[in-house]
Structure formats: structure tokens, C-alpha cells
Amino acid sequence: MGLFKRISDNIRANLNAMVDKAEDPVKLLDQYLRDMEDDIADAEGAVARQLAVVRKFRAQYEDAQAMAAKREAQALEALEKDREDLARKALEDKKLHRAKADDYKSQYDTTGATAETLKSQLREMKDEYEKLRARRDTLVSRAQAARAQKEIHGAMGGFARDNARRGFERMEEKVMQLEAEADVAAELGTSGKSLDAELEALGSSDAEIDSELAALKEKLRAKEADRQ
């Protein structure tokens, strides 16, 4: 419990420190996951070492138990051969190995329980890591969307004050002025041409009338001549 509690506390402390300093949540999330991966690797090493201790005590317990059983069999064999002295020595050695077996069994049970607790807590750390890694993509997407909105709003806010926009407005006014000047010039040009056209038309009209008058006069003279 103590080892993993310290790891969990360290993770939270490091995260809080990074939150105070970090400006990029994506980098912060990735760093947080990397720190968790390092802590999980350390925890896996601790579990592996604990399991090695468990296996050692189990092997010692089994060896001591086997040796106690062997000495008991040897004591029985010595008695069958009327060697009570050897049987006694075998039983004394059996007692020593039995005591060792009991001690190793106690150590084996204790370390085994500790190993199971550490394995359970390691699974919890891995489960939490997987959940956070799954949430990471969602949080990154939200951060990117928020950053994009911020950039767009910032660009729009700066666009209204941008020199280029004011320059376009000035150019638009100049184009409108040029168009107005062109309209005036067109009107003046049209007036001049109309006057010339009227004068020319007037001249051609007078000539046509004179011609028609001359023709009528000629007809009139012809009629008068016929009457005479």
C-alpha cells in the first residue's frame, strides 16, 4: 500500500506543478501519461522483485519440509536396524528442518499476501492509465477546437483594425471617385457631340429645303407656261 500510495501522491503533485506552469494542455496530458508509464514500470519492477522473494521462500519451505520428511523416514529405518542412536539424531535434525519449514511457510504466506496486494494495486494503476489514455484523445480534440476558436476570434478582432482593410476602404473610395469623374467626362463629351450634330443637321436641312423650294418653283413656272 505504501509504495503505490507514494507513487499516486507523486503523480498528483507533479501534475499540479505542471498545471501551474504549463500553457499547452496537450503537452501536459502527454507528459502526465509518460510519468504514469514510468511509475507503472517502477511498480512492475517492485512486483517482480516481491514475487521473486515469494518464490524463494516457497522453495525454502518445500525443501525444509522435504528434508523433515526424509529425516523421519531415516529415523524409522535406523530403528528397524536397531540403531536408536541414529534414529534419535535423525529425529533431532527433523525437528530443526520442521522449525525451518514453519518459518519459511510464515514468510511465504506474508510475502505472498503482499505480492497479491501489490499486483492488485498495479492493475488499478494500469486501469487508470488506460482510462486516462482514452480520455486523452477527447481532451486533445477539445483543446484543439478551443484553440482554433480562439485563433479565429483573435484574427477577426484584429482584422477590423488591420491596415490592409483600411487600405482597401481607401482604394474603394478612390475607385468610386474615378467612376464619378468618368461619368462626368462622358456627359460632357456627349453634350459636345450633340451640339455639333444639331448644327450639321441644321445645315443639311436648309440645303434640302432650298432644293425642294427650287423644284416647286420650277413646277410652278411650267404650269404657267402651259396656261399661256
Half-sphere exposure for 170 (CA within 13 Å, toward CB): 6
118-149 pLDDT, tens digit each: 999 999 999 999 998 888 888 888 877 877 88
Cβ pair 115, 50 in contact under 8 A: yes
149-183 pLDDT, tens digit each: 877 776 666 555 566 677 778 888 888 888 888 87
pTM of the model: 0.53
For the chain, domain boundaries: 2-161, 164-228
Q: How many residues does the chain have?
A: 228
Alpha-carbon gap, residue 155 to 197, rounded angstroms: 59
How buried is 75 (Cβ within 10 angstroms: 0-12 exposed, 13-18 middle, 19+ buried)?
A: buried
